[in-house]
Structure 1
């Protein structure tokens, strides 16, 4: 039986681990072809093998999402191999949880580049093709930290608020052309994200945070809406959140 996304083509950034990896597998489970990108070639190859075993296709573009060349290669790969781009998941990101006086300008630049610059670069490269198609779905992987300020996360929150504002503006700009734009805002997720920059492997393992597959389910929901509906924003928190 064909899946809900059979014939569709998705680009997923930060696909080598965590939410990106889980989301790529979720999209593939519904028949989408995937262009997966991240810096770690070996992990991309392992993910591609899993996707190929699901009777669809994965195309690897290893590179830094901060480099515009990587985004251009992803777009070229999608168009050359599959002829279209239906979904972009801007998932590349990092966390660094520090109080302000311990946050350097280098920390600021790295967070802003990894979380927001990558979002701009890939969206800017994908939108022209979606305008030609008069359809497409663009999702930003933000955070509950993009909706509320948290202590010791001022710069991280600033980058995630930026993604939410970017998505809201593009929703208004691109919707008349048939392009859907939304943002996913999960709370903490059990991944290697921010391990060594505010979290430890032990603290993540012992936490009651969301699973990456939980967030991937929200991504799939947003990507499988009927043509006449769109999801603007999804907020996600664990059931074990303190009252």
Structure 2
């Protein structure tokens, strides 16, 4: 299979939080399926490296470096997709942060930061993509939530709240946008081996010795949701490790 004959050939996908972990792995996995990519995150050098790896697979990639919780990052990333590829087909709202603390150890600033990273970012990218998707009567929006968005966990109240918010937002968007041919869903992974929670309740040793999934394994589930036929959508998918 070549890039030109792959299932997503000619499609354009946008991945937020693409500089590491699930975002990086998902961008690579989508490129393997033939998609052109717009990738965004705050670390420009990592995005340059990612784009080089994507183009080595035979597809095209551009990046926008910025905070996904800022309106300008969302609007400019989507404008970049139109300017370079003429259209946008898939938005993966993956940008986010973890903070595993008891309530009394969590500051107001940490609450605001977590809600911005995990919820506001998805709102912004969906808000700017939706008019394009409505006009073309197609599109896929996926939120990378968590099993922590399905059941509350002690010591993770604010993190769970942000992830529950993603699930509710995605369900509402599904009801709102489905009549326009737009698919909206949530992917809810269990633990993943990435830098996501380092210094915020997780250590390198904990991650290394755990049964948590590799980012590439979660990326395969995300791509699966993107590859469904036009009349099939996946509103919610839970992905767990075998540990």
Q: TM-score range by the shorter chain?
A: over 0.9
Secondary structure of the residue aligned to 1:139 is strand
Secondary structure of the residue aligned to 1:60 is strand
* CA distance in 1 between partners of 2:234 and 2:73 (Å): 28
Aligned to 1:95: 98
* 1:39-66 Cα distance to aligned partner (Å, 9 max, x none): 0011001110000000000001111111
Greater than 6 Å deviation, 4+ residue runs: none
* Residue 218 (structure 2) pairs with residue 215 (structure 1): yes
Aligned to 1:121: 124
Secondary structure of the residue aligned to 1:221 is helix
**Which of these residues, 121, 124, 140, is aligned with residue 137 of structure 1?**
140
* CA distance in 1 between partners of 2:69 and 2:230 (Å): 32
| Cα deviation, residue 107, structure 1 | 0.9
* Pairing of 1:3-14 with structure 2 (within 5 A): 3-14=6-17
| Cα deviation, residue 237, structure 1 | 1.1
**Which of these residues, 77, 82, 85, is aligned with residue 82 of structure 1?**
85
| Cα deviation, residue 37, structure 1 | 0.2
Secondary structure of the residue aligned to 2:191 is coil
| Cα deviation, residue 140, structure 1 | 0.2
**Which of these residues, 38, 61, 65, is aligned with residue 64 of structure 2?**
61
**Which of these residues, 198, 202, 225, is aligned with residue 199 of structure 1?**
202
In structure 2, stretches of 5+ residues that fail to align are: none
* Residue 173 (structure 2) pairs with residue 179 (structure 1): no
| Cα deviation, residue 202, structure 1 | 1.1
Aligned to 2:163: 160
Secondary structure of the residue aligned to 2:69 is coil
* CA distance in 2 between partners of 1:193 and 1:75 (Å): 25
* Residue 238 (structure 2) pairs with residue 235 (structure 1): yes
RMSD: 0.6
* 1:171-226 Cα distance to aligned partner (Å, 9 max, x none): 11000000000000001100000100010111101111011011100110000000
| TM-score, with structure 1 as normaliser | 0.98
* CA distance in 1 between partners of 2:123 and 2:230 (Å): 25
* CA distance in 2 between partners of 1:121 and 1:72 (Å): 8
Aligned to 2:41: 38
* CA distance in 2 between partners of 1:167 and 1:67 (Å): 20
* Residue 173 (structure 2) pairs with residue 170 (structure 1): yes
Report how many residues are paired: 240
* CA distance in 2 between partners of 1:222 and 1:236 (Å): 12
Secondary structure of the residue aligned to 2:183 is strand
